[in-house]
Amino acid sequence: MSAPMVGAPALHVYAFELKSQLRSLLIGVATLLIVTILLLAGAYPIYRDSKSSVEQVIDGFPPQFAALFGVNDDVFSFGGFYRFSSLYLMLTMAIMACAWGLAIFGREKRAKDADFLFVMPISRIAIYLAKLAAGLTLVIVAGLAFLASVALTYTRFGDDPTATSIALPRLLLAASSLFGVGLLFLAIGALTAVLLRRIRSVSGIATAFGILGFMLVSLPEMTGEDKYRIVAPFTWFNVSEALDHGRYEAGYVALFAVMVLVCLVAGAIMYVSAGFGSLPTKEDPRA
Amino acid sequence: MMKTLFAMISRELKANVKVWLIWSVVIILFNIAGVMKFEGIAGGDADAVRKLTDAFPKVALAVMGISDLDMSTFAGYYAVIEFYTGIMAAVYAVALARNAVSREMTDGTYEFLFVRPVSRTTILSAKLVAALADAIAFVAVNCVSSLLCLRLLGDVPGLNDVTAATVIWRFSVWLFVMMLVFGAIGACASAACPRPEQGASIGNASVVVAYGAGVVFDMFSDHDASVVARVLSPFRYATPREVIDGRMPVPFAVLAVLIVVVGFAAAYRLFATRDLAVR
């Protein structure tokens, strides 16, 4: 078969998936932007203004109490606040991206029409890649919109020394952690969609995964033990490290890359080799 | 009649058991990792920590996830753990309610069930009873594993086993009430929406909104207007400190009861007249 014949159907799959997720993309991006603006432009100024009253109290205490609360000079800075906020932003992105992965790769299972797609003159791996491309596009578009909103909010704090002490590129690097979270949860969603025999609720699974990731952050945070970071994907992207030193930790980035690759490759292998028997069809709704 | 009812309940329980097991394992692991690490924090001077907490503005505490809790005591520490457990329980409750109302819709098997000589009300009752059993079992797993972790904790200075156990019991009750409230919201949304996925989305969104409103309430609980955020967040109908003390403001208790009663009543009504054609 000639190249255009293969390329065109794949493009159709890509465009179809993008179009189907358009509404969900708009809702997702709007939510992300509202959370960003509420936190950074709304709550941060109030938070910053409380600094002096807290410092007064802290001065009367031995330093270890302040340390117990994680209070140091950094906490009341723009960077410190961003670090706290990033958790909520990551949660939003994780739920969104996981839902996209589930919806895109589980579409035929949910509609029970995989046979209609698989009899088309297009290889399964091409379908998988086209769907993956659509998912990546969604994550990238949402991520870029988020970066833009962070940059815009940042310009509002030109008179705040704790904000200006962070160079915009570093802030954007820290904000880029959302691409990582998005990619990871897209991959997890994709693999889950391929693995599950039936997907009853995209939003239910996505919320569960997102909140699980969010909860796991509390393990290393509450216990103060770094070893728990391995099971808490949100902490793989160390925002403080990005803000302070303009980099992410190589080990955790590698862990992230391996996880994404494993999910996507395993998903691809199973998607390509799944027998028709395991794909519910219209004729037998209970299959 | 009773036999069919029991058959439906046991079938439903069997269908739910795998997901229930997953949630239970997650919660046990979370409790072990969380409760067992309490000793590390308990060492500090409780009185000084309390003064520090009181001095902090709400916004700062809320952003750190502490709100008005005394983290040096077991109760305060456990409250933070239970807040996360509460979010999980809410997501699970929405899933249970959604499955009860519209799983067979998604599977396309309601036609087979509705032609049986049982009313839709009986069908929904059987499914909700099974879901309720799962919710109780989930709360029990959390309660028992917390109590066992407490025993494993051994001798921590300033830890009173009896008061700590009371706190665990009170949070278990709170957790169950949360599951009822979000279950009612989930059931009502699932029954009201013609497309099952739409109902599920509304149910799940209510959990996320409630969580966000809870954070906003923690931030601004000094202000009068924060009551709006509190109404939006069932997680804060009783604040952690109120749960520790074993009380709950009457208006919010009434509100919780109203949501549960109206939610499930609406679910029954809508379910009885639901159109099968839309899939």
Task: Note whether B259 and B234 are within 8 A (CB).
Answer: yes
pTM score above 0.95: no
Sequence letter at residue A21:
Q
**pLDDT for position B51:** 64
Burial class (CB in 10 A: 0-12, 13-18, 19+), B254: exposed
What sign for the dihedral angle of Cα B41, B46, B52, B57? positive
pLDDT one-digit tens code per residue, B153-173: 766 666 778 888 999 999 999
pLDDT one-digit tens code per residue, A109-133: 877 778 788 888 888 999 999 999 9
Under the banding of pLDDT at 50, 70 and 90, the label for residue B188 is very high
State how far the Cα of B207 lies from the Cα of B267, in Å rounded to an integer. 18
Please report, for residues B79, B160, B161, the alpha-carbon distance to residue B164 in angstroms, rounded to integers and kept in the order given. Answer: 11, 6, 5
The size of the A-B interface in CB pairs under 8 A is 126
**pLDDT for position B47:** 64
- Dihedral (C-alpha) B80, B85, B89, B91: value to the nearest 10 degrees? 90
Is pLDDT above 90 for B252? yes
Q: Which residues of A touch B56 (CB under 8 A)?
A: 50, 54, 57, 69
Which of A87, A95, A201 best tests the B interface by mutation, with the highest count of B CBs <10 A? A201
**pLDDT for position B4:** 86
Neighbouring CB atoms inside 10 A of A281's CB total 15
For A58, what's the count of Cα atoms within 13 Å in the CB-facing half-sphere?
A: 21
CB contact (8 A) between residue B34 and residue A219? yes
Q: Which residues of B touch A286 (CB under 8 A)?
A: 107-109
Distance from CA of A7 to the nearest CA of B (A): 32
Q: Return all residues near B278 (Cβ < 8 A) that are at least 6 apart.
A: B194, B195
Is pLDDT above 80 for B95? yes
Give the residue with greater pLDDT, B152 vs B240: B240
Q: Which residues of A touch B204 (CB under 8 A)?
A: 201, 203-204, 206-207
State how far the Cα of A97 lies from the Cα of A206, in Å rounded to an integer. 8
CB contact (8 A) between residue A215 and residue B30? yes
**Which 203-222 residues of chain A touch chain B by CB within 8 A?**
203-204, 206-208, 211-212, 215, 218-219, 222
**pLDDT for position B217:** 87
CB contact (8 A) between residue B196 and residue A88? no
CB contact (8 A) between residue B87 and residue A54? no
Q: Which residue of A has its CA nearest to B85?
A: A215
**pLDDT for position B184:** 97
| Contacts made by residues B80-85, CB under 8 angstroms, sequence distance 24+ | B80/A218, B80/A222, B80/B240, B81/A218, B81/A222, B81/B30, B81/B31, B81/B34, B81/B35, B82/B171, B82/B174, B82/B175, B82/B240, B82/B243, B83/B235, B83/B240, B84/A215, B84/A218, B84/B30, B85/B27, B85/B30, B85/B142, B85/B175
In this prediction, does ipTM exceed 0.85?
Answer: no
DSSP state of A41: I
Q: Which residue of B has its CA nearest to A88?
A: B212
**pLDDT for position B45:** 58
- Joined together, the tokens standing for residue A24 give 């969900």
Distance from CA of B250 to the nearest CA of A (A): 30
Looking at the DSSP bridge assignments, the partners of residue A113 are A281
**pLDDT for position A4:** 47
CB contact (8 A) between residue B45 and residue A65? yes
Q: Which residues of A touch B103 (CB under 8 A)?
A: 200
**Which 19-48 residues of chain A touch chain B by CB within 8 A?**
35, 43, 46-47
pLDDT one-digit tens code per residue, B8-28: 999 999 999 999 999 999 899
Is pLDDT above 90 for B143? yes
State how far the Cα of B217 lies from the Cα of A233, in Å rounded to an integer. 28
**pLDDT for position B204:** 93
Kindly list the domain boundaries of chain A, sorted by start residue: 3-278
Is pLDDT above 70 for A155? yes
- Joined together, the tokens standing for residue B66 give 């502490």
DSSP state of A235: G
State how far the Cα of A144 lies from the Cα of A133, in Å rounded to an integer. 16
**Which 161-180 residues of chain A touch chain B by CB within 8 A?**
none
Distance from CA of B264 to the nearest CA of A (A): 20
Q: Would you call B243 helix, strand, or coil by DSSP? A: helix
Please report, for residues A135, A180, B128, the alpha-carbon distance to residue A16 in angstroms, rounded to integers and kept in the order given. Answer: 12, 25, 38
CB contact (8 A) between residue A69 and residue B64? yes
Q: Which residues of A touch B104 (CB under 8 A)?
A: none
Mean pLDDT of the A187-198 span: 93
Element containing residue A43 per DSSP (H, E): none
Distance from CA of B257 to the nearest CA of A (A): 25
